[in-house]
Amino acid sequence: MPLVYLGLGANLGDSAGTIRAAFQHLEALLGEARLSRLWRSRARYVVDQPDFVNAVACGLTDSSPRELLRSVNAIEADFGRDRGKEGAKGPRPLDIDILLYDDRLVVEPDLIIPHPGLAERKFVLLPLLELAPDLVHPATGELLLAIVESLPPQGIYLMPAPRYDLLYI
């Protein structure tokens, strides 16, 4: 079965609770499911919105990439996401992105794997590397650890933040 990595993010309501509850739904879809720790991140594209809580889940699936997309979109809807009413990159109760699907490359009008923002987003890379520190970007062959090390600071903190970091947030 293919190993998949999914990025989870939320910034409306009880975001941490939403991520944990969404993972329970994902456990029904994924064999041997695991969840990274939770990370808090500043909004990157539309900055006038609450911070996000992010995590990465991984597990084995017997779903095709298209079937998996339908399943994660249904979970998002269960948590109140209405893609038709929200602004691009704006606040949302839950976002689930397919980051990696084994080492497959998928390019379709509404589904691109690896996720096109993967190599620029520490809020995805840090929890992803927590689960699999030796991952390689399937399109470029670069170690994801090397990619994350090349990125500038982006305001990403473990939750709860260590006491030292709380002094500087």
* Active-site position among 34, 97, 102, 104: 97
Tokens 């690896």 found at = 114
* Active-site position among 92, 103, 121, 165: 92
What pLDDT is attached to residue 56?
98
Note the pLDDT tens digit of each residue in 20-36. 999 999 999 999 999 99
Active site includes 81? Answer: yes
Active site includes 92? Answer: yes
Active site includes 40? Answer: no
Q: Show me where the domains of the chain are located.
A: 3-164
Q: Is residue 52 within 8 Å of 40, Cβ to Cβ?
A: yes
- The correct CATH number of 3-164 out of 3.40.50.300, 3.30.540.10, 3.30.70.560, 3.40.50.12500 is 3.30.70.560
* Active-site position among 95, 103, 104, 165: 95
Read off the pTM. 0.92
Task: Tell me how far apart the alpha carbons of residues 24 and 34 are, in angstroms, rounded to a whole number.
Answer: 10
* More confidently predicted of 86 and 3: 3
- CA-based nearest residue to 7, from 97, 113, 102, 110: 97
